[in-house]
Amino acid sequence: MYQRLILGLTFIMGLGVMSATATAQEGHPLKGSWIGEWSGNSAHGDFVLLVMDWNGEEVTGMINPGTDNMEIESVDLDPSDWSVEIKAGGYTIDAVIENLELPSRSLSGTWRSSNGSGDFDIVRQ
């Protein structure tokens, strides 16, 4: 009797651990749609949208998809401190991933181009 109870509880606990592990595995930490601000950007406005994907080898994507879109040229991620450098259309974004463990993680840092520089803050949606 007790053996069945212990076996049943062990099975249920195992299912709970497996489902929690499956939920935590969501792929590359930069994958997704990100919305926020790059303050002081007179060329593109203060609001910015990034859509990034992971193809198994590199991060690809667009900044401000639509009429003034810029294809992301390169993304360098340093997992030792979760710093990120994104280059696209003459812009360089240097940021750090914050709240990595959350689905709504953020990137905070700075942007710069030949037209200026400013703060950069986006949140994954």
**pLDDT tens, position by position, 90-125:** 999 999 999 999 999 999 999 999 999 999 999 999
Query: What is residue 21's predicted lDDT score, i.e. its pLDDT?
Result: 41
124 vs 34: CA distance, rounded Å: 4
Domain 32-124 has CATH 2.40.50: no
Q: Compare 4 and 68 and report the one with higher pLDDT.
A: 68
61 vs 63: CA distance, rounded Å: 7
- Name the amino acid, one letter, at 107: L
Q: Residue 1 above 50 pLDDT?
A: yes
pLDDT band at residue 87 under the 50/70/90 scheme: very high
Which whole number is the average pLDDT over 76-101?
A: 97
Query: What is residue 23's predicted lDDT score, i.e. its pLDDT?
Result: 44
Per-residue burial over 4-24, b if 16 or more Cβ lie within 10 Å, else e, is: eeeeeeeeeeeeeeeeeeeee
In DSSP terms, which residues pair with 12 in a beta bridge?
A: none
Query: What is residue 66's predicted lDDT score, i.e. its pLDDT?
Result: 81
**pLDDT tens, position by position, 9-68:** 455 555 554 444 444 446 799 999 999 999 999 998 999 999 999 999 999 999 998 888
Query: What is residue 10's predicted lDDT score, i.e. its pLDDT?
Result: 55
- The residue extents of the domains of the chain are 32-124
The structure's pTM equals 0.79
